[in-house]
Amino acid sequence: MSESSIRPPVAARRPILRTHHGDSFQDPYEWLRKKDDTEVIAHLEAENAYTDARTAHLEPLREQLFQEVKARVLETDLSVPTRRGDWWYYGRTEEGAQYGIQCRTAADPGDWTPPQLEPGAPVPGEQVLLDGNAEAEGHEFFSLGAFDISDDGSRLLWSVDVDGSELYTVHVRDLVSGERLDDVIENTGQAFFTPDGQSVIYTTRDEAWRPDTLWLHRLGTPANADVKLFHEPDERFWLGAGITRSKRFLVIGLGSKVTSEELLLDLSDLTASPRVIWPRRDGVEYSVDHAVVDGEDRLLILHNDGALDFELVSVALSDPEGERRVLLPHTAGTRLLDVDCFRDFATVEYRSGGMPRAAILDYRSGELDVVEFDEPLYEAYFSGNPEWHAPFLRMGYTSFVTPSMVLELELATGEKHVRKQQPVLGDYDPAAYGQRRVWATAPDGAQVPISLVWKRSFGDPGTQPRPVHLYGYGSYEHSIDPGFSTMRLSLLDRGVVFAVAHVRGGGEMGRHWYEDGKELNKRNTFTDFIACARHLVETGVTTPERMVAEGGSAGGLLMGAVANMAPELFGGILAGVPFVDALTSILDPSLPLTVVEWDEWGDPLHDPEVYAYMKTYTPYENIRTDAAYPRILAMTSLNDTRVLYVEPAKWVAALREAGAQDVMMKCEMSAGHGGVSGRYNAWRERAFEIAWMLDVLRLA
């Protein structure tokens, strides 16, 4: 059977009238929302069968791509051990195994240099804490959520999700006897031990999938006796919690998209009432950590009260609303992101000039020591530092051309020690690849950064038109920073230029960059992306037919919008778990996570201006019958709770009805928002997507 003779499934039209603010919309495919309906499942399976048939010719290429990534990855490997208490903790992988294995080995007193462990070699004194492969047996999907060890090292807590719903079941094991305790807690989010290891603190969600309640479970007691520590009734606010590195306080964090509030609970008395640090005020966000400076308990508060890009202040623990000592003043264009307190200093992560930065703040001198790196584009961050006081500070580092590295700063000397670099097997040479940043001009004059990476042997971008893979996101102030990918090498080595459009709605250029791409400014996200695509065409980097655009989740909304607004600019569009029926979802407060999203997109249910504005861009309502759409592939999952499968299912059906000639959807029937589980499964799924892109780019 020829590919042209394969016919796509046709969804039945069953119009439902939706009316808001005097405006009516006939929705012919809303019936696909009935997840438990056998007709809906049959339609999704028909979509999968169609996609399988249409892409069958790519199976050899998919297998080749899968083998390429396998050939680059050291399948039997292990992480750099992290010192916590009397143990070195690490994870390892084994060739042929889908999931990681969590282990530990005893540490010598006073030894803070991680042991040099050889992949595949026996580790003296190794204790296997959790084998994800054993836990995953019998399940099509497996995701490890919480993983925590009691401070004395005697107990293990872990949680698992086996259907992609992001609802986790907590288990506890005694590491001395090896026995699994009877304590099992269902339907949790976060979970961790109290410092004494006698209790578990965990969160649960409401019917809208919002984490809203914090609980205390004392080991050995029934779950129905668990104590409610805190409940957040406001549907706009998510609840999260954590323990300060000082082990003094439980921090309860409450946050909407634009407002936050934090409370402290002394760990010596978890039955007390939590103490509010700063009462919530609409539009004010802040985060708190505990420090001890010259023997005095202080709170370091990162906030945006009158400081768009945030300011860091220190306040007395005894009077948090009293005098604010400014440690890092607000500086326009320098977006302070995160502060973590240690015994003698705090780590600071921030953005400046569109790039992430990392620094150390000395409590006593007030000096900020920036950790410098040589590459023009990179990502650096602090990670894996559980101890209140240690002679080394661990960091992660990567770039488009530099495989991920684990570094440790020796605090006494400032020297950087490379503890491990991600191995890339074969003949990988970073010097064979180039990276740089260029700038596109948006319709309103804004300068939008574009990051590029390519293989030098094909010539620099712009010397002749090349195939381009253009990626974008542009929501939630989330930044897409330069990171290495072994899978991406399969594109670069075939002559593809990978580009990231750092559009508004993201956080690359500071808080204003985010605010200029949300709510009633959301269209800037789409026009920025289009401007980036046009810039790449006008500067000779590529041509429209040789450019594939990709985005996922909120970036999938971006894909749907630009497909409607500028279909002529792209040869193909890959939309992962795409938020393409945004107006329908945001109008329905009964759907998971809708109310908490109103601060990001606006509230179209109660505000006619927001409704009218969203209706101008939401992809499903704006499909055109006068446009020649590029090839489109939508990827989704049946159990996704963040972007429901129904959104791409409706979108694909409507595109076909409008005359789009080449639209496909692939629905994973046992996965969630993150797609399939297991590293080999994930490689195969990505190989499927890359093979489709290469086919669009005429490189298959």
Question: Of 468, 661, 654, 606, whose CA–CA distance to 548 is shortest?
Answer: 468
Q: What is the CA radius of gyration of the chain?
A: 26
Q: CB within 8 A of 634, min separation 6: which ones?
A: 556, 575, 576, 578, 580, 648, 651, 652, 663, 664, 665, 666
Q: What is the DSSP string of 276-328?
A: ESS---TT--EEEEEEEETTEEEEEEEE-TT-TT-EEEEEETTBTTS--EEEE
Classify residue 485 by its DSSP letter.
Answer: -
Residues recognised as catalytic: 553, 640, 673
Detail the DSSP E strand segments found in 363-461.
368-370, 379-382, 392-398, 405-410, 416-421, 433-441, 447-455
Sign, CA dihedral 342-345-347-350, equals positive
Rounded to the nearest 5 degrees, what angle is found at the Cα of 488, between the Cα atoms of 485 and 494? 150
* 101/287 Cα distance (integer angstroms): 33
* 371/517 Cα distance (integer angstroms): 30
Question: Of 536, 519, 651, 639, whose CA–CA distance to 143 is shortest?
Answer: 639
- The owner of tokens 């409940």 is 231
* 633/631 Cα distance (integer angstroms): 7
675: left (phi over 0), alpha (psi -120 to 50) or beta: left
Classify residue 307 by its DSSP letter.
Answer: -
Contact between residue 619 and residue 651 where contact means Cβ atoms under 8 Å apart: yes
Q: CB within 8 A of 365, min separation 6: which ones?
A: none
Classify residue 173 by its DSSP letter.
Answer: E
Residues pairing with 560 in the sheet: none
Q: What is the amino acid identity at position 518?
A: K
If DSSP codes are grouped into helix, strand and coil, which group holds residue 418?
A: strand
Question: How many beta carbons lie within 10 A of that of residue 648, not counting itself?
Answer: 33
How many alpha carbons fall within 13 Å on the CB side of residue 415?
Answer: 7
* 336/357 Cα distance (integer angstroms): 9
If DSSP codes are grouped into helix, strand and coil, which group holds residue 600?
A: helix
Burial of residue 113 (number of CB atoms within 10 Å: 0-12, 13-18, 19+): middle
If DSSP codes are grouped into helix, strand and coil, which group holds residue 362?
A: strand
- The owner of tokens 């399976």 is 45
Instruction: Please state, in angstroms and as integers, the Cα–Cα distance from residue 549 to each residue in 552, 556, 697, following that order.
Output: 11, 10, 11
How is residue 221 written in tokens? 């007691």
Q: What is the amino acid identity at position 78?
A: L
Segment holding 69, helix H or strand E: helix 59-72
Query: What is the separation, in whole angstroms, between the first and last Cα of the chain?
Result: 20
* 634/209 Cα distance (integer angstroms): 24
Pairing of strands 468-472, 547-552: parallel
How is residue 85 written in tokens? 């208490």
Contact between residue 560 and residue 580 where contact means Cβ atoms under 8 Å apart: yes
Contact between residue 381 and residue 400 where contact means Cβ atoms under 8 Å apart: no
Instruction: Please state, in angstroms and as integers, the Cα–Cα distance from residue 336 to each residue in 146, 308, 396, 510, following that order.
Output: 28, 10, 18, 9
